[in-house]
Amino acid sequence: ASDVYKRQFFNGLDALMLYMGSKGGDSICEIAGGEARLTRVLIRYQKVKTGPNFDLVCDCDLTLRSNHNLFWQYRRGRKPNIISMAPMCRSVGGWGKFNRRMNSNTWWDNYRHTGKPLGRLCGQVALAQLKDDLDFLNEQPQGSDLYKEEPWPEVLEHERVVRGVLH
């Protein structure tokens, strides 16, 4: 096939980071939040400056160190006021507890490769936001074991952190 017809695939996150530059001012960005529904609602009803959605649905695998680095580069440069996070609860939520007993090998593999690293990253992001006097929102099912993982106990001890349950 001719070079004209060849498709080239690339990670659009690198291009987005280059385009956005380093000037700050985003109102919100989302990490591990799926399809960025919160951002879409805010765009529709409020005049907010939104940052990227760092999630696998956008070709951003946050279990890869290179994408961690791109996220931290973005955060340092743009200083989003709020970072919304919803790390997978598959290994730390209610079904995770069930799967730990019933399908322990599968549970352990998912926890080790995805659940724990994403949970830790989100905890580190929460700490960084608090340190910079910025905000975060983390969504997890009630009773999630995520908050037992480091650095979440430290995050929860911070005076500005409020926990709530939505029904």
Tell me: the pLDDT tens digits for 15-55?
445 445 545 567 888 888 776 666 666 666 666 777 777 87
Q: Which residue has the higher pLDDT, 88 or 71?
A: 71
pLDDT of residue 142: 85
- What percentage of the chain has pLDDT greater than the value 90? 28
Three-point CA angle 85, 97, 64, nearest 5°: 40
pLDDT of residue 3: 41
pLDDT of residue 2: 42
* Cα distances (angstroms) measured from residue 61 to each of 103, 113, 155: 25, 12, 24
pLDDT of residue 5: 35
Amino acid in position 165: V
Work out the pLDDT band at 128, boundaries 50, 70, 90: very high
Q: Which residue has the higher pLDDT, 35 or 127?
A: 127
As a whole number of angstroms, the distance between CA 93 and CA 114 comes to 14
Phi-psi label, residue 6: left if phi above 0, alpha if psi -120 to 50, beta otherwise: beta
- Peptide linkage before 151 cis (omega within 30 of 0): yes
What integer best gives the mean pLDDT of the chain? 80
Q: Which of 99, 94, 156 is nearest to 122 (CA)?
A: 156
Amino acid in position 149: E
pLDDT of residue 118: 92
Whether 114 shows a pLDDT value over 90: the answer reads no
pLDDT of residue 44: 66
125-139: average pLDDT: 94
Whether 157 shows a pLDDT value over 80: the answer reads yes
Mean pLDDT comparison of 20-29, 52-61, 95-104, 119-128, highest-scoring range: 119-128
